[in-house]
Amino acid sequence: MTTITDVLRAKRLLAPYLPETPMWSYPVLDAVAGAEVCVKHENAQPTGAFKVRGGIVLLSRMTDRERGVVTASTGNHAQSLAYGARIFGAACTVVMPENPNPGKVAAVEALGARVVIAGESMVEAFEHARGLAEEHGFRLVSPGDEPDLLAGVGTLYLEILTRRPDLDAIFVPVGSGTGAAGASVVARALAPRCKVIAVQSAQAPAAHDSWQLGELVHRPMKTRIDGLATGSAFAIPQEVMRAGLDDFLLLDDDVIDQARRLMLTHAHTLAEGAGAAALAGVLARREEYAGKKVAVVCTGGNASPRELGM
Ligand SMILES: *Cc1c(COP(=O)(O)O)cnc(C)c1O
């Protein structure tokens, strides 16, 4: 099980590659939320999302990098792995399901990775990635069940709680659960009275339902919000979340979209849907957090054409 020691080591590994991201609060946003809201700007990462922390840590700790890596992803996980592979000179292959967003293909290819299009769903794309791993000897990287990804993304919570140990709560959006698991590890070690509250789309509740039931379940995946779109839960982050998470909210895509617009108008921040889900969580719990100090992680800014209004 990942511990604070793993996260502290990940922080040292990342230091030469990624500066600390900014965290600001915006009085006009605070007024709407009725709380002090610290926005952690992971949208300012070089790939536009927090996951790059995990990709760099995984590649830096890989002792047989000459094998190359392969994964399946439509978005930010792909860019994270491709970014890490580029730093360490490893070959990277990303399998995307059919009809991918051309902008996402271009972003991954621009980082020097190879994109293979196969399968109708993420599950099928991942099975294809498994086949490529067997055929070419690549290391198969799961988007969720990788302790190095969890420790890597955990470093962002180290940055938050080192600067603001007085926070009452941190709101974290969940897809696979690595981010919320990392937050749980860090908060339990450094700020035991700071609550960690996970947020997922009600249109894709696999991680929420698995956490609540205490077993891994599959759920329909109907959300239009990319970073939150997972149909099944991952064992490693679930185990960590079970021990460290205080609460888990399900919110409708429409409510998350409203929070995304609020990020734009009240925090001059372009968030993708998943990057605004944490703020949506605070607004959904307005009474409970009135007058309190909370952090929301703007996990990414890679907005889709729909989210950009184009
Ligand atoms: C992947 C992702 C999430 C969800 O993070 P997990 O660690 O998979 O739970 C949230 N926001 C963005 C922007 C993402 O790319």
pLDDT of 101: 83
* pLDDT reported for residue 27: 98
Give the pLDDT of residue 139.
98
In contact, 54 and 80? CB cutoff 8 Å: yes
Distance from the CA of 99 to the center of ligand 1, in angstroms?
A: 21
Confidence band for 74, pLDDT divided at 50, 70 and 90: confident
User: Average pLDDT of 70-85?
Assistant: 95
The pLDDT score that the predictor gives to residue 272 is 96
Q: How far apart are CA 254 and CA 144, in angstroms?
A: 26
Whether residue 293 is predicted with pLDDT greater than 80 in this model: the reply is: yes
Q: Hey, what CATH class is 52-140 in?
A: alpha beta
Q: How many CA atoms lie within 13 A of 9 on its CB side?
A: 14
| pLDDT for residue 310 is more than 80 | no
Structure confidence at residue 19 as a pLDDT band (50, 70, 90): very high
Q: Per-residue pLDDT for 306 more than 90? A: no
Residue nearest to atom 15 of ligand 1 (CA): 227
> Residues 14-42: what's their mean pLDDT?
98
Asked if residue 200 lies in contact with residue 226, where contact means CB atoms within 8 angstroms, the answer is: no
pLDDT for 259-283, tens place per residue? 999 999 999 999 999 999 999 999 9
Q: Which residues line ligand 1 (CB under 6 A)?
A: 49, 51, 76, 173-180, 227, 272, 274-275, 299-300
Q: Which atom of ligand 1 is nearest to the CA of 272?
A: 13
Q: Please determine, looking at this structure, whether the domain spanning 4-49+146-308 carries the CATH number 3.40.50.1100.
A: yes
Residue among 176, 248, 272 whose CB has most ligand 1 atoms within 8 A, to mutate:
176
Which residue intervals of the chain bear CATH 3.40.50.1100?
4-49+146-308, 52-140
Nearest C-alpha to atom 13 of ligand 1 is from which residue? Answer: 300
Mind listing the pLDDT tens digit for each residue in 180-200? 999 999 999 999 999 999 999
Mean pLDDT of 216-220: 96
- 143 Cα: distance to centroid of ligand 1 (angstroms): 10
87-134 tens-digit pLDDT: 999 999 999 999 888 888 999 999 999 999 999 988 999 999 999 999
